[in-house]
Chain A
Amino acid sequence: AQTVTQSQPEMSVQEAETVTLSCTYDTSENNYYLFWYKQPPSRQMILVIRQEAYKQQNATENRFSVNFQKAAKSFSLKISDSQLGDTAMYFCASLSYNTDKLIFGTGTRLQVFP
Chain B
Amino acid sequence: DADVTQTPRNRITKTGKRIMLECSQTKGHDRMYWYRQDPGLGLRLIYYSFDVKDINKGEISDGYSVSRQAQAKFSLSLESAIPNQTALYFCATSAAENYGYTFGSGTRLTVV
How many residue-residue contacts, CB under 8 A, span A and B?
Answer: 48
Name the interface size band of chain B: 20 to 34
Other-chain contact of B42, A43, A101, A106 (Cβ < 8 Å): A106
Give Cα distance in the complex from A103 to B88, angstroms. Answer: 16
Find chain B residues with CB under 8 A from A75 CB.
none
Chain A residues near B94 (CB-CB < 8 A): 100, 102
A95 to B88, CA, bound (A): 21
Query: For chain A, what secondary structure do more than half of its interface residues adopt (helix, strand, loop), or is it mixed?
Result: loop
| A101 contacts B48, C-beta separation under 8 Å | yes
Instruction: Tell whether A97 is near chain B: CB-to-CB under 8 Å.
Output: yes
Bound: A106/B108 CA distance, A: 18
Chain B 13-39 near chain A by CB (<8 Å), digits 1 or 0: 000000000000000000101010000
Q: How far is the CA of A35 from the CA of B50 in the complex (A)?
A: 21
Q: Are A101 and B58 in contact (CB under 8 A)?
A: yes
Q: Which interface residue of B40, B50, B103, B106 has the most chain A CB atoms within 10 A?
A: B103
Q: Which of B42, B58, B100, B108 has a CB less than 8 Å from the CB of A91?
A: B42
Q: Could you list which residues of chain B lie within 8 angstroms of chain A, going by C-beta atoms?
A: 31, 33, 35, 40-45, 48, 50, 58, 88, 90, 92, 94, 96, 99-101, 103, 105-106, 108
Which are the 4 A-B pairs with shortest beta-carbon distances?
A: A45-B103, A104-B42, A106-B42, A104-B43
Binding site for B on A (CB under 8 A): 4, 6, 9, 33, 42-45, 47, 91, 95, 97, 100-107
